[in-house]
Amino acid sequence: MLGNDDPAYAELMRLFMLLHMDHENANVSAHTAHLVGSALSDIYLSCSAGLNGLSGPLHGLANQECCNWLLGLYHQYKGVPTTSQIREYVEKTLSEGRVIPGYGHAVLRCIDPRFTAQMNFAKKNLPDDDLFRTAMNVFEVVPDILKATGKVSNPWPNVDAITGTLQQHYGIKETDFYTVLFGTSRIMGFTAHVVWARALGKPIERPKALTTRHLEAMISESSFR
């Protein structure tokens, strides 16, 4: 349906679907789908709710933002940038109060294994691709810059830092479509959660709320520890 019959692209999408399916149930999209499904809502509505969460720039939308940032870097220097050019571009991005897309993760404190899996695929199938080489050069430079700021707890790349690079190589140039591919994969995770939740008879989710008095008591107790 994507118009690409290259067997290597088929293998990439097998990898992509597996890696993006669902890595745990605490992320925005998976948890939203689980929450809505816990009300015994139609599974279509559960998936729709999850995809609404996935569309946010801090979640599934990040893959296209990462690729657009890389493309901006590549086009500014009219080719694969040098270390000094990457450093200049990164420092400009940070000086403007922006983050380096694809670097850092809310949970992981190491290189995202999903990044590594796609990187290894690219090294085998498209080692000379200019955008991939750009991504690898960025990988060599960015973590040290972020460490030096003293403000970043995880300077390592996550899966989004490379996803779009591989899609670009195989002709999927519309970055807006990357989140659609992500969503197609994540739906497999959503539905698995909903099916198991109903098979096991899990109750409706009912998050507890904390009043100001509860919060003040918690702070007061922790101050004496």
Residues belonging to the active site: 59, 105, 160
Tell me, rounded to whole angstroms, the distance of Cα 146 from its chain centroid.
Answer: 18
Quick one: tokens of 39? 């009300």
Q: Specify whether the CB–CB gap between 19 and 118 falls below 8 A.
A: yes
Q: Specify whether the CB–CB gap between 94 and 143 falls below 8 A.
A: no
Distance CA 130, CA 53 (A): 33
Q: Specify whether the CB–CB gap between 17 and 165 falls below 8 A.
A: no
Q: Which of 146, 149, 57, 140 is closest to 109 using CA atoms?
A: 146
The helix (H) or strand (E) run that includes residue 160 is: helix 160-169
Neighbours of 210 (CB within 10 A): 9
User: For residue 103, what are the β-bridge partners?
Assistant: 157
CA dihedral 167, 172, 173, 174 (to 10 degrees): -110
Chain position carrying tokens 């810059």: 145
